[in-house]
Chains A and B, each alone.
Chain A
């Protein structure tokens, strides 16, 4: 076992050295600059990702009128927020929000990952495109959600929404108990991608 560990560390160091060498060569040749990597990653780390969805949901939690507008005309409501460009544009324009309530739980499924609104929800997990997940979630959502650790009591209706090229759905989970009086920024931390897919609920940390 110890040997395996050494091997792993050597390999890490070797890979790190290879990237460093490659990056230095590319900078020397003027192909990239020392800012290139950060510029590219900035797109994934600050512009497009689940933090956008978290902002939308947190606003809906603190502002009931916004939540109503979000449900009535999702793109227009999203456009009210100061989110990076493109959120309400090319990819976000067909977005529709559905809200969980005390008597209804919503679950989003999707056949094609190209339909997944990841500028808002983040990149889909590996199982999301799995045909088994999709067909079982459509057929027996209550059983599937239970397997996700989310037993939904019989009295609560489960609605399943299939995202397509026309409409990309996302869930406004219920505001978690214990989050009373918290700021929007604090609330954002409770909104996970899974909660916006409906395979989890938002919990106050």
Chain B
């Protein structure tokens, strides 16, 4: 039995379409914003703002959309770009933040 949410959340993703990048046994972040996206998503699910599985559904569909749009040249692939897109969608869907608020914050 997995008693720690963090443990459960990452174990669920192993070997699946949304499996996160890792190196030498640890999660692998290319930059601070990637690490930050991961931490925010996990913390929101842990606090019950949305289900981890709901977030993963968004992530899997974001990955599929990207793959469909890039059938041949996938050199610009970055897992956490899709992760961030899924996080924004999940946050809006959960009613925590509106799309307008995100747009405003980005242009501010």
A contacts, CB < 8 Å to B: 4, 7-8, 11-12, 15-26, 29, 31-32, 36-41, 43-45, 48-50, 86, 89-91, 113-114, 116, 118-119, 121-126, 129, 192-193
**Which B residues between 47 and 102 are near A, CB-CB below 8 angstroms?**
47, 49, 75-76, 78, 80-81, 84, 87-88, 91, 96-97, 101-102
Q: Is the interface on chain B under 10, 10 to 19, 20 to 34, or 35 or more residues? A: 35 or more
Whether B44 lies near A32 (C-beta < 8 A) is yes
Whether A122 lies near B26 (C-beta < 8 A) is yes
Q: A37-B43, A124-B15, A192-B25 are in contact. List 17 more A-B contacts (CB 8 A).
A: A16-B32, A18-B88, A19-B33, A20-B33, A22-B91, A22-B97, A22-B102, A25-B102, A31-B96, A32-B44, A40-B38, A40-B42, A44-B10, A113-B14, A118-B11, A118-B25, A126-B19
Whether B2 lies near A91 (C-beta < 8 A) is yes
A121 to B43, CA, bound (A): 24
Q: Which residues of B contact A24 (CB under 8 A)?
A: 105
User: Which partner residue on chain B sits nearest A18 by CB separation?
Assistant: B84
Whether A113 lies near B97 (C-beta < 8 A) is no
Q: Does B27 contact A (CB under 8 A)?
A: yes
Chain A's nearest CB lies how many Å from the CB of B51? 16
Q: Which residues of B contact A26 (CB under 8 A)?
A: 40, 44, 91, 96-97
A121 to B1, CA, bound (A): 17
B contacts, CB < 8 Å to A: 1-4, 6-7, 10-11, 14-15, 19, 22, 24-27, 31-33, 35-40, 42-44, 46-47, 49, 75-76, 78, 80-81, 84, 87-88, 91, 96-97, 101-102, 105-106, 108
Whether B101 lies near A44 (C-beta < 8 A) is no
Whether B75 lies near A4 (C-beta < 8 A) is yes
Q: Is the interface of B mostly helix, strand, loop or mixed?
A: helix
| 26 pairs of residues in contact across A and B, judged by CB atoms under 8 Å | A11-B76, A15-B84, A18-B106, A19-B33, A19-B84, A20-B33, A21-B106, A31-B44, A31-B47, A31-B96, A32-B43, A37-B39, A38-B39, A40-B38, A40-B39, A40-B46, A41-B35, A43-B4, A43-B7, A44-B6, A44-B27, A48-B4, A90-B2, A91-B2, A118-B7, A123-B26
Q: Which residues of A contact B87 (CB under 8 A)?
A: 22
Whether A25 lies near B39 (C-beta < 8 A) is no
User: Which partner residue on chain B sits nearest A7 by CB separation?
Assistant: B76
Whether A36 lies near B22 (C-beta < 8 A) is no
Q: Which residues of B contact A90 (CB under 8 A)?
A: 1-3
